[in-house]
Amino acid sequence: MKVHWNRREWLGVGSLSLLSTWAARNGLGAHTTFTANGLGQAERTAVKRAILVWLDGGPTHLEMWDPKPEAPSEIRGPFGPVATNVNGIHVGEHLSRVAQQMDRWCLLRSLTSPLGEHNFGTHYLMTGYRPTPALEYPALGSVASHLRAQGDLPGHVAVPNFRVGGSRFSGRGYLPVSAAPFAIGGDPARPDFRVEDLTVGQVATLRRLERRQRYLEAIGESDSALDQAFRLVLSEEVRNAFDLAQEPADVRARYGPRTVGQSCLLARRLIERGVSFVTVNDPGWDTHDQAVTRLRDGYTGAQVPVGKIPSLDLALSALVDDLIERDLWESTLVIVMGEFGRTPKLNTSGGRDHWPRCFSAALSGAGVRGGQVIGTSDARGESPRDQPITPADLAFSIFQTLGIDPTQSLRTDDGRPIAISREGRWIEGLT
């Protein structure tokens, strides 16, 4: 006899379809060794993991990674450049902290795509495949999660959510539900932050869960989804991984008070504890208007800039420093990108519109050679001048950097083999 339960009713933890995904895997946890502070040393060096800081909406390359100070004012925009700690490399002035880490960063300034719509561009950048109505391809993190054994924690976590590119993209594509990104739901910057799908609502709910677990044991039956969900709800390691209150106040302050900063801190905690891939989703980069307020100030009349770029600068600089201090940087790939760039010319509303023909991304860690720029754009930031890099090339190179063979095939639910990367090529000089 097989016993079936209404899991949402007895767990009281939100969308249990996400919780029970890991129970579908075989042999979970066999390769994850925990210490009091997370991964054992052997695991730190043997497996490469990734944090994708996704700038949803399409970040401007001209105000960030590829400034054009010699261009006319309508091209160069309202901000100037700042020198980095690598001779000859400049970035936007509001990335001043990252600028002093440039020896740890690799800038890609010649990304190019034909897709300037949010959903299409997101699918292409996050999968390496152009979208097609016939099949949704899996996101980078879902592929990595699918191919690697996990412990009680999910393999691909989205902080705070996976509502990217217009929210039509599921992330798991043709892979089983076990590969879906686990969206934590709550905002890590809020004082009442909690992970929605891992919270038992009431003591009575937990008692019912325990009674049903004992009942299954008594009749000699088992339910793997029930077993795994039970461990997830009760696991001290899971609770600790998501508990930002355990971080010292000075560490939290280094990342900044905004959601992107606290999300990056949570990403570090998860990577440290064995999660394969964390997607930090930072919305608000679709800056068609009011670029100065939105990108620099954060709000009208701000005395200290708290807009998108300064907040990101705090988050990224703290993340890289933290990974280095914890001996995680060599085994963790940090990826910063969005679905496209912005138009070379400012519009009449003081912003920039969608521009996929040329844009930028930044990478750090996991053996990527820092202190360099790969590819250049023309004088207006309008087109690649040399070494054009497609989203397929970027995905191919990310997988290979993580130790995943991008030429291998995965299978759809009907058994059809699909290559992880079909059109991508290695980005020369990346490592």
pLDDT at 214: 72
Q: Cα separation of 413 and 376, whole Å?
A: 41
pLDDT at 228: 53
Q: Cα separation of 347 and 353, whole Å?
A: 7
Give the DSSP letter of residue 335. E
Strands (E), 331-396: 332-337, 341-342, 354-355, 359-364, 372-374, 376-377, 384-386
Query: Across residues 175-197, what is the average pLDDT?
Result: 90
Contact between 399 and 421 under an 8 Å Cβ cutoff? The reply is: yes
Q: Cα separation of 370 and 180, whole Å?
A: 31
Q: Where are the domains of the chain?
A: 1-30+196-241, 41-191+248-419
pLDDT at 28: 35
Q: Does 7 have pLDDT greater than 60?
A: no
Q: pLDDT (tens digit, 9 = 90+) per residue, 33-86? A: 334 445 554 444 457 999 999 999 999 999 999 999 999 999 999 999 999 999
CA dihedral 364, 365, 371, 376 (to 10 degrees): -40
pLDDT at 18: 41
Query: Across residues 243-250, what is the average pLDDT?
Result: 96
pLDDT at 210: 67
Q: Does 174 have pLDDT greater than 80?
A: yes
Q: Does 353 have pLDDT greater than 90?
A: yes
Q: Does 212 have pLDDT greater than 70?
A: no
> Residue with structure tokens 């009091």?
36
pLDDT at 178: 84
Q: How confident is the model at residue 200 (pLDDT cuts 50, 70, 90)?
A: low
Q: How confident is the model at residue 167 (pLDDT cuts 50, 70, 90)?
A: confident
Decide: residue 321, CB within 10 A, 0-12 exposed, 13-18 middle, 19+ buried. Answer: middle
Q: Which residues contact 348 (CB under 8 A, 6 or more apart)?
A: none
pLDDT at 201: 54
Query: Across residues 168-186, what is the average pLDDT?
Result: 92
Query: Across residues 185-201, what is the average pLDDT?
Result: 82
Q: Name the pTM for this structure.
A: 0.87
pLDDT at 43: 47
Domain 41-191+248-419 has CATH 3.40.50.800: no
Q: Cα separation of 39 and 47, whole Å?
A: 11
The Cα angle at residue 170 between residues 164 and 173, in degrees rounded to 5? 130
Query: Across residues 113-119, what is the average pLDDT?
Result: 97
Decide: residue 6, CB within 10 A, 0-12 exposed, 13-18 middle, 19+ buried. Answer: exposed
